[in-house]
């Protein structure tokens, strides 16, 4: 099986997509405070390319950062002030969109625990049955921003948990991080998948091609992970991912095999079929169960985290389906090969 290398952080600053993202890139490049009018944040569409890219860059400072940007900028008060303004808008938009969503764990997760009879509209089903190799490559390109930092944001919740929930969360994260083996870290397995598909596995390589709908899914877990007050929402997000992963991974493994994508490409998803089926039980009964036993007041937050994850995953799937139905790329801007 081919194995890719994961170099140290060297992500280049992306091209701006509007006033705010150009302001952020200029600030990171020059070391100067971001020059923007507060009204520009208040009047901006939080779902658009400009806002989501701005928020992504500001969050990325808490992961691996960017090439030639000093590590100290992670805690730059001017950048944090802009981040706070953007994420307040983001969180408000999510709460508004989910005003009628279920408020209990049972109601939130019940629809996710049953495999639908009709898979119409399921992106993984489309890829399994009719997906082309170029679509699998495009899907892998999009998902790389999440999977190359897989499990990292969820690790932020560990010091905020106690007892059963902490022990169970650590057990799952231990698996996600390869159970002590660097070659089995899930982000490494995804890099190997990308190599099999002829893609560049470098962390952050495809940021310039990531549309707002994809950036929002990564920004969601960063938002939840960086705020202790949102620890319940982060657990809800993590549980939603684990509960829904196994069936989708099974379909994607079949898609990779059908299209001849390569053993590492198939292996990444095959690995998640069994692992996430086990993780689902642990996260529902021990992580969520333990957290609710310790902090029952967090139930609505857990439900919100689950609902927000479903909302943004549905938005991303709709974006991809719409593009492919129109015989065009779902990536932002020109393809990386152009």
Cα gap 127→140, rounded to integer Å: 12
CATH number at residue 126: 1.20.910.10
Token reading at 292: 């609710």
Strand blocks (E) in the chain? none
* Number of independent structural domains in the chain: 2
Average pLDDT estimate for 217-244 = 96
Q: What is the pLDDT of residue 59?
A: 98
Name the domain boundary from 64, 97, 130. Answer: 97
The verdict on residue 146 lying in a domain is: yes
The H-or-E segment that residue 230 falls in is: none
Do residues 237 and 302 share a domain?
yes
The verdict on residue 336 lying in a domain is: no
- Give tens-digit pLDDT for 9-33: 579 999 999 999 999 999 999 999 9
- Give tens-digit pLDDT for 78-91: 999 999 999 999 99
CB 105 within 8 A of CB 292: yes
Confidence of residue 106 (pLDDT cuts 50, 70, 90): very high
Range of the domain at 114: 105-325
CB 294 within 8 A of CB 285: no
Do residues 218 and 296 share a domain?
yes
**pLDDT above 90 covers what percent of the chain?**
84
> What's the whole-model pTM score?
0.93
SS3 274: helix
- Give tens-digit pLDDT for 29-47: 999 999 998 889 999 999 9
The verdict on residue 70 lying in a domain is: yes
């Amino acid at each position: 099986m081919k194995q890719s290398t994961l170099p140290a952080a060297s992500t280049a600053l992306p091209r701006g997509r509007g006033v705010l993202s150009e302001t952020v890139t200029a600030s990171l490049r020059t070391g100067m405070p971001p020059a923007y009018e507060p009204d520009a944040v208040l009047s901006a569409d939080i779902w658009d390319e400009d806002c989501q890219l701005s928020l992504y860059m500001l969050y990325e400072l808490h992961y691996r950062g960017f090439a030639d940007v000093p590590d100290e900028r992670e805690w730059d008060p001017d950048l944090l002030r802009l981040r706070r303004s953007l994420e307040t808008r983001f969180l408000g938009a999510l709460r508004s969109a989910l005003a009628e969503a279920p408020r209990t764990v049972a109601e939130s997760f019940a629809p996710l625990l049953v495999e639908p009879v009709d898979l119409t509209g399921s992106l993984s089903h489309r890829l399994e049955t009719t997906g082309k190799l170029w679509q699998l490559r495009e899907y892998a390109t999009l998902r790389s921003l999440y999977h190359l930092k897989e499990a990292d944001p969820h690790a932020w919740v560990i010091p905020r948990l106690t007892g059963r929930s902490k022990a169970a969360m650590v057990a799952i994260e231990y698996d996600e991080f390869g159970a002590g083996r660097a070659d089995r870290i899930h982000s490494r397995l995804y890099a190997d998948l990308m190599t099999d598909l002829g893609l560049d596995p470098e962390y952050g390589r495809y940021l310039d091609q990531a549309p707002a709908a994809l950036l929002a899914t990564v920004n969601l877990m960063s938002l939840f992970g960086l705020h202790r007050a949102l620890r319940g929402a982060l657990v809800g997000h993590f549980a939603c991912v684990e509960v829904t992963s196994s069936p989708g991974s099974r379909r994607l493994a079949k898609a990779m095999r059908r299209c001849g994508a390569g053993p590492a490409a198939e292996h990444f998803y095959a690995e998640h079929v069994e692992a996430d089926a086990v993780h689902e039980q642990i996260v529902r009964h021990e992580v969520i169960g333990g957290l609710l036993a310790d902090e029952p007041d967090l139930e609505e937050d857990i439900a919100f985290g689950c609902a927000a994850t479903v909302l943004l995953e549905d938005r991303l799937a709709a974006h991809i389906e719409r593009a492919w139905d129109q015989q065009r790329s779902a990536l932002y801007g020109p393809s990386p090969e152009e």
